[in-house]
Amino acid sequence: MDSDSESDALLDTNLFLRYMALKPQRKEVKDIWKNREQNGEYYVLFRKLLELEETFFEYMRMSKRTFYFILRKIQPLITKLPTRTPYISPEERLMVTIRFLSTGITFKSLSFTFCMAHNTIAGIVYETCEAIWSKFNEQFIPFPTTSAFVRIENEFSERWNFPNCIGAIDGKHVRMKAPAKSGTKYFNYKKYFSLHLQAVADAKCKFIAIDVGEYGSRSDSGVFNTSTLFDLISFRIKSFRNPSS
């Protein structure tokens, strides 16, 4: 080996060793996750929040009463066998999910505050959301009936002096990564990829219908025109075809 080749080899070796020395080690991150009981948000903060009603509400975006009402309903669905140490309780699972839903913080960020792997956070959020939907959707967002629309119309007229209205509707684009081979289906007018969420509220600002999952490229009116709610109003509820005077 000539002197130039030897120098290049030594330089490459030196650079590689420096890279390995500076490269973050996965073991260090895992060590953080192992200390959940000392550093995790649930263990450090949650018990303190329970003693402070207003602070709990500010942090969780709901009262303690509401939090435990939800927990009692979904606990059988999110309780897991204790296969890991420390055990992730239903209470902690709900806390993780509510924090995600109320703040929009990423799974990666939650993984550091709760000292869990981000894929564990993702699994908890998906499973808990499914449990919440399965337990509460028929109770709190039942599909509107003719009598419900009559009541809502009366409330809009009496409360807001806005007659012949059976709901306030709006759409929201939920940002997402474009699915493979989806082209521009999910690319919206705001110049990013999204799913379309459409919601209808009554005169008391309570949701009465939602439609989630349409392509982000579709307009609000396009989503509404193909929704089940539009079909219900247009073809099934005869009394709303002609507005009252």
Q: What is the pLDDT of residue 28?
A: 53
pLDDT in tens, 95-115: 999 999 998 889 999 998 999
pLDDT in tens, 208-242: 888 888 889 998 888 888 888 888 777 766 656 55
User: Is the model's pLDDT at 167 over the cut of 80?
Assistant: yes
Cα 138 off chain centre by: 19
pLDDT in tens, 26-58: 555 566 667 788 888 999 899 899 999 999 999
pLDDT in tens, 111-136: 989 999 899 999 999 999 999 999 99
Q: What is the pLDDT of residue 114?
A: 92
Each domain of the chain, given as residue ranges in start order, spans 33-139, 144-241
Using a cut of 0.95, tell me whether the model's pTM lies above it: no
Share of the chain above pLDDT 70, in %: 81
Task: Provide the mean pLDDT of the chain.
Answer: 84
**Cα four-point dihedral sign 114, 119, 124, 129:** positive
Asked if residues 53 and 39 have their Cβ atoms less than 8 Å apart, the reply is: no
Burial classification of residue 158, based on how many CB atoms lie within 10 Å of its CB (0-12 exposed, 13-18 middle, 19 or more buried): exposed
